A and B are shown apart, each in its own frame.
Chain A
Amino acid sequence: MLETGKISALQLGMIIYPVMMSTAMLAGPNVMAKAAMNDLWISPIWASLIGFLCVYTTHQLYAKYPQKTFIEQSEEILGKLFGKLLGFFYVCFFLQLNGFIVREYADFISIFLIKTPLSLISGVLVLVCAMAVMGGVEVVARSAQFFFPLFVIPLLVMIGLIFPDLEPRNIFPILGNGLIPSLKGAITPQGWFSEVFLISFLMPFLTDEKKGKRYGMITVGLVMISMIMVNLVTYFLMGEATGRILFPVMDTARYVSVADFFENLESGVMAIWVIGAFVKVSMFYYATVLGAAQWLNLTTYRPIVLPIGLLTVIFSFWGLPNLAVVGDLHLLVIPVLLVSFCCLIPVILLVISAFKKSNTAYKGAGSG
């Protein structure tokens, strides 16, 4: 057994919530407003369907192959050769994706820390995450649990403070151009919702296994509600300009002005984003490390934590010259990859395993 730690189902939810929400909170309203305009609040509802499907398939696979993560499951289902090949793709994909997330984080921070080199910003984050991952799943879960209120409460406070400036009428006309714009707006968020697939790497360590699925579903639901809320608040404030503002939530915080002195709360949003990015990156990091260790049949994953961290930092630069490329990838390529890796392939494996299970059962009966 690679991992000896145990976490609760509630902690699982508290890890997964920031994983899905942190990117969505920063760039979400902009991405969805570009495609859906004032129907941007409907897009998370469509996108969350993928999230629910993901939780379902991941749990079904887990129910068939208990105490196993996806990397091990694929070996069982596809056999040694193809299973290893698929596992290799997954480890590479996680590595690349984590590099991309680190880059997004660094790009945002460097807008304000102009003189700090990008490599330092991403390096420091990865180093902190490496410490969490080194401590194992329990440390990742505990830090997520500790940060969860710090992630959610400031967001709610900010929404309360900006309330007097909101113009709820901006929401009309609802579905003025039919369903298509809101569906288009759902393309990118689908990717974020697919990330719930990471519960596959947490479920084996649950103390209360039966609640895993329920908490996964609840988390997806909560993320959907939070996304709708954030989208509505930014659109109520900025209206048609939302699609042009790169980080609408931060601009919303900047617009807060209570009694002429309680102003400019963007540092608060940056703090939330740093917390969110920490949880997100350490979870992906942990999944990569655990996956790689299982793929290589190691007895402990600790020796590969730092090398993989170094690779993550390198991946945050490879092929990502500027924000234009990052933005392009973010809009279409990453969501498609995420949906296929986190949702489509697991569904296919589930179907294969359904056939295979009956086969092995038959074989087992035959040999016995």
Chain B
Amino acid sequence: MKRVLLIPVIFLCTLSLAGCWDRIEINDLAILTAVAFDKVDEKEIELSVQIFVPRSLSGGNGTIGGGGNIPTTLMRTTKGLNVADALSKMQANLPRTIFWGHCKIYMFGEELAKQGIVEMVDFLTRHPEPRNRAFMLVSKGKAKEMLKLTPRLEMNSAEVVRKLTGLEVSMEVTLLKLQKMLEGSAGTAVIPMISIMPPEKKSQPLKTTPYLIGTAVFKQGKMSGMLSERYTRGAMWIRNEISNTTVTVKAKGVKGFVSLNPIREVTKLDPIIENGKWKMVVEVETEGDLIQNGTNLNLTVLKLMKIMETALREDIDTRIKSTLKVAQKDLKADIFDFATHFRRKYPREFAAVKDRWEQVFPTIEVETKIKAYIRRPGLTTIPGGIPESEVREK
């Protein structure tokens, strides 16, 4: 009798084990690819989302590449008191459930960034769906405009931004990193900034692409300034984040430029407090290959190579120094996270100045120690295209 009773029990178990009772079909989901937050006025924000349109992909194998009549994404915008409010209003006129799990891009409009982004970050970290590895960006002008673009190379503007950020040509800030920066000792956060590339003549105004223009600097969760692309690079040198770069330098007393591709760069920050004086030693070590030689120097000759190494050293030094000047004098923001380095080495001294770090940071003296090596000359020895008689060997 007992065994007979077991059979319906097993059947019931298999029914529930299939997990169908609270399934969500993929065609019931509105998959977000990018989200933009903008300011409307003091009270309201505007939430814009880019939704992936799956139908655009399922047109059969033959039409891919040829078609393109159906856009791959659509954009929706709603206003609300905060993100959650706007989201619920948006859901009210969207037939599919909004799904955040695949959203890799969050953009803040410049206006909103100036007003403060803490509330948005709170929403993103509290909600279980958004990913910690999603990239954060600030857009010049309204962030909404970025979502409207239909770039030609990638499927949608979110993909462009994601790949650009992933190239590490500019800073790469994920949600987790932003959270860490906002709660860090320095009280400063950096987020890469994007803008719309001006469209080519005669092309449709939306057929263009976003591109990186620099870095937005946040103090206490509010955007307070901006670094240009050049200074962003400088900051990345100090933050030990630089990886994909070409350095073009000109040596003293030599005509023409030489370009180098550093393969390996390591930056070490060493804080020192001596007699109440705060000092930061920035140690950079880099080595790389020659990729273009516009001078008449034969750079396989050790002595001439040394000249170029000195020039490389000086160039990096100038980059770092000028960025430091901008950060310390103009922005007064610790974008290099010196605070954490001081806290790690001098916890007591740092605790004493923690509350007025903003005033202390500009007074920190910075010393640079740069080691630069040119390891290989590339595939040719003497400069290309000039007669051998003009090549300088000494």
Q: List residues of chain A with CB under 8 Å of any chain B CB.
A: 111-113, 115-116, 169, 172-173, 176-177, 237-241, 244-245, 251, 254-255, 257, 263-264
Judging by beta carbons under 8 Å apart, are A238 and B344 in contact?
no
Chain A residues positioned under 8 Å from B347 (CB to CB): 173, 176-177
Contacts across chains A and B counted by CB atoms under 8 Å: 48
Chain B residues positioned under 8 Å from A111 (CB to CB): 128
- Complex formed: what's the CA distance from A115 to B22 in Å? 8
- Complex formed: what's the CA distance from A254 to B132 in Å? 7
Given A112-B128, A251-B176, A264-B131, A244-B183 contact (CB < 8 Å): yes
Judging by beta carbons under 8 Å apart, are A241 and B180 in contact?
yes
Q: B319 at interface (Cβ–Cβ under 8 A)?
A: no
Chain A residues positioned under 8 Å from B176 (CB to CB): 237-238, 241, 251, 255
Further pairs besides A238-B176, A255-B132: 4, Cβ < 8 Å? A111-B128, A172-B344, A173-B347, A255-B133
Chain B residues positioned under 8 Å from A177 (CB to CB): 347, 351
Q: B345 at interface (Cβ–Cβ under 8 A)?
A: yes
Judging by beta carbons under 8 Å apart, are A172 and B185 in contact?
no
Q: Which of A113, A237, A239, A251 contacts B184 (CB 8 A)?
A: A239
Interface size for B (C-beta < 8 A) is: 20
Q: Which of B111-137 contact A (CB under 8 A)?
A: 125, 128, 131-133
Given A116-B22, A239-B184, A240-B184, A263-B133 contact (CB < 8 Å): yes
22 A-B contact pairs sorted by A residue (CB < 8 Å): A111-B128, A112-B128, A113-B22, A116-B22, A169-B344, A172-B345, A173-B345, A173-B346, A176-B344, A176-B347, A177-B351, A237-B176, A240-B180, A240-B184, A240-B185, A241-B176, A251-B176, A254-B131, A254-B132, A255-B176, A264-B101, A264-B131
Judging by beta carbons under 8 Å apart, are B131 and A241 in contact?
no
CB-based closest 9 A-B pairs: A176-B347, A172-B344, A173-B347, A241-B180, A241-B179, A239-B180, A240-B183, A255-B132, A241-B183
- Complex formed: what's the CA distance from A113 to B347 in Å? 43
With both beta carbons as reference points, the residue of chain B lying nearest to A245 in the complex is identified as B125
Judging by beta carbons under 8 Å apart, are A257 and B183 in contact?
no
Q: Which of A173, A241, A263, A264 contacts B344 (CB 8 A)?
A: A173
Q: B343 at interface (Cβ–Cβ under 8 A)?
A: yes
Q: Which of B268-321 contact A (CB under 8 A)?
A: none
Contact code string B314-357 (vs A, CB < 8 Å = 1, else 0): 00000000000000000000000000000111111001000000
Interface secondary structure of B, over-half rule: helix
Judging by beta carbons under 8 Å apart, are A257 and B133 in contact?
yes
Q: Which of B128-176 contact A (CB under 8 A)?
A: 128, 131-133, 176
- Complex formed: what's the CA distance from A245 to B125 in Å? 9
CB distance from A167 to the nearest CB of B (A): 10
With both beta carbons as reference points, the residue of chain B lying nearest to A112 in the complex is identified as B128
Chain B residues positioned under 8 Å from A112 (CB to CB): 128
- Complex formed: what's the CA distance from A182 to B112 in Å? 40
- Complex formed: what's the CA distance from A111 to B127 in Å? 9
- Complex formed: what's the CA distance from A172 to B345 in Å? 7
CB distance from A287 to the nearest CB of B (A): 28
Chain B residues positioned under 8 Å from A115 (CB to CB): 22
Chain A residues positioned under 8 Å from B125 (CB to CB): 245
Chain A residues positioned under 8 Å from B22 (CB to CB): 113, 115-116
CB distance from A306 to the nearest CB of B (A): 16
With both beta carbons as reference points, the residue of chain B lying nearest to A177 in the complex is identified as B347
Chain A residues positioned under 8 Å from B351 (CB to CB): 177
CB distance from B190 to the nearest CB of A (A): 16
Chain A residues positioned under 8 Å from B345 (CB to CB): 172-173
- Complex formed: what's the CA distance from A214 to B180 in Å? 42
Contact code string B58-80 (vs A, CB < 8 Å = 1, else 0): 00000000000000000000000
Which of B22, B132, B345, B346 has the most A CB atoms < 10 Å from its CB? Answer: B132
CB distance from A108 to the nearest CB of B (A): 11
CB distance from A128 to the nearest CB of B (A): 11
Chain A residues positioned under 8 Å from B184 (CB to CB): 239-240
CB distance from B143 to the nearest CB of A (A): 24
With both beta carbons as reference points, the residue of chain B lying nearest to A243 in the complex is identified as B183
Chain B residues positioned under 8 Å from A173 (CB to CB): 343-347
With both beta carbons as reference points, the residue of chain B lying nearest to A244 in the complex is identified as B183
Chain B residues positioned under 8 Å from A237 (CB to CB): 176
